Amino acid sequence: MRSLAFAAALLIAGPAAAQSALLHGAPWQAEIYSNFSGWTGKDKARPQYAREERCGGSLIAAGWILTAAHCIDQDQVDRGWRVRLGTLDARDGGVTYRIDRLVTHPDYRPETKDGPPLNDLALLHFVADGQTDPSAADHPPIPIRLNGSRAGDGAIGTGADVTVTGWGKNKSGKGARFSPMLREVDVQTVSCNLAPGYRGKVNAAMLCAGAPGKDSCQGDSGGPLILTYGEPVLVGVVSWGIGCGNGSNPGLYVRIDRNNYLDWIGQVTKANPKLNRAN
Ligand code: 4AZ
């Protein structure tokens, strides 16, 4: 993926320069990170952002992050994993929050050796605490609209221009590195069944997207797949893949539309007002 900050700099250079498909960045982008401090040995030598970075996520409503279920469990919430919002820089930028509730999709099933996770979604509710910059309340981050939330939103077919963002690895396998700065890559939706590794293992609640040498990768999970034609809208959540950017197996995303997960997200975030109350 290329750096969003770099893309923005190119944009300023003039109309001939490459343009980011996300003209105004990705203000809904969240980072889910571990603030564990007891690292030892080889882990201690790695940069802090690389030790802490766990997953991406998207702000979808005030106080709510949509991410992948495989990104976080209740144990990790209890150990103090946090959410970071409002920055391209995962090292120390933005504003961080305490996670006070995790709602994993009731039908989530982890990946198996034969195939991808099922219903790989979780919702995180977050609140400000003593580590949260108090001035953050003056400029709340901007949520991304969910596909299907407006009349006229359809299911995403193949050949749609979409963009994925994250702090994940630059390749699969040895020598791969997390990125300290948020990166983005423009890809296209493709048929999952054309991928030899996915045929027969995917279902209609999944979406595949890729382009030659372009993909999401480990650490990007939970992050947004955005439809970039017109107003940005969240159409997918980074979930799984066989390798990264290897040409034959595109990235696999949880599909978001009227027939897929919109009701569940609405129920969790709206139907129980108690869950929306900061405590
Ligand atoms: C992962 O391990 C992962 N190439 C995420 C996305 C992709 C592969 C792996 C897509 O979280």
> Could you tell me if the CB of 104 is within 6 A of ligand 1?
no
Residue to probe by mutation, ligand 1, list 218, 237, 242, 252, most atoms within 8 Å of CB: 218
- The continuous run of DSSP H or E covering 234 comes out as strand 233-240
Q: How far is the CA of 25 from the centre of ligand 1 (A)?
A: 22
Segment 206-216 shows an average pLDDT of 96
Q: How far is the CA of 217 from the centre of ligand 1 (A)?
A: 4
Residue 44: its pLDDT value, please?
84
d(CA 233, CA 228) in angstroms, rounded, equals: 7
> Could you tell me if the CB of 238 is within 6 A of ligand 1?
yes
d(CA 253, CA 236) in angstroms, rounded, equals: 5
Segment 251-269 shows an average pLDDT of 97
Residue 13: its pLDDT value, please?
31
Number of H helices, E strands in the chain: 6, 13
Q: How far is the CA of 215 from the centre of ligand 1 (A)?
A: 9
Split at pLDDT 50, 70, 90, the class of 59 is very high
Residue 279: its pLDDT value, please?
38
Beta-carbon contacts of residue 193 (< 8 Å; ≥ 6 apart): 199, 200, 202
Active-site amino acid positions: 70, 120, 221
d(CA 244, CA 173) in angstroms, rounded, equals: 9
Q: How far is the CA of 278 from the centre of ligand 1 (A)?
A: 33
Could you give the domains of the chain?
Answer: 29-143+260-270 (2.40.10.10)
Split at pLDDT 50, 70, 90, the class of 37 is confident
Segment 102-115 shows an average pLDDT of 95
> pLDDT tens digits for 142-194?
899 999 999 999 999 999 999 999 999 999 999 999 999 999 999 999 999 99
Parallel, antiparallel, or unpaired for β 233-240 and 29-33?
unpaired
Provide the whole-model pTM.
Answer: 0.90
> Could you tell me if the CB of 220 is within 6 A of ligand 1?
yes
